[in-house]
Amino acid sequence: NPLKIGAKAVEVNVAPTAVAAGDRSDAVCDRHGQIYVNTSHRDAKSTFNKYTSSNSAADIVAANANGVHVVTSLSISVGKEVSATQVDAIIAVGSTEKAGGNFGPGGGIVEGGMGAELFKTAKNEAIKITSDAPTGGTLYVRLTYYTIETAS
């Protein structure tokens, strides 16, 4: 015998209601009955920073006492005008390096971008950068993330 499953019809552009930890949640479908999974977070934020000097564990995203940050995309790039041969830039959470490298003028990296988790912080933990000075130019860092509120 086939097993029938059900889903709750919702407006696709309306934020879902949060449930408590351990509670069941509904599968959802659009108003035409097509089941879908939303891989992005409705409260995604983006930060874009320009650095012209060195950094030592500087906050990119401040700690949140009530939640964890989930990073879904990031990019690090060095301006073409930079006169330094290489610029070292590391994105970290706590003492753990999450992304980065050693980049020449015009170089960089891009990771993520499809809504999936690249990495996350612990509760009340910031996302930080440590970098060399991009002599004569600018180091660019962009992050897309969302915050999940957690119980105390």
pLDDT for residue 124: 93
pLDDT tens for 121-134 read 999 999 999 999 99
152 pLDDT above the threshold of 60: no
pLDDT for residue 40: 61
- Is there a contact between 65 and 112 (Cβ–Cβ < 8 Å)? no
Bridge partners for 87 per DSSP: 103
Q: Comparing 43 with 69, which gets the higher pLDDT?
A: 69
Q: Which H or E run includes 67?
A: strand 67-78
The least confident of 35-49, 51-65, 106-120 is 35-49
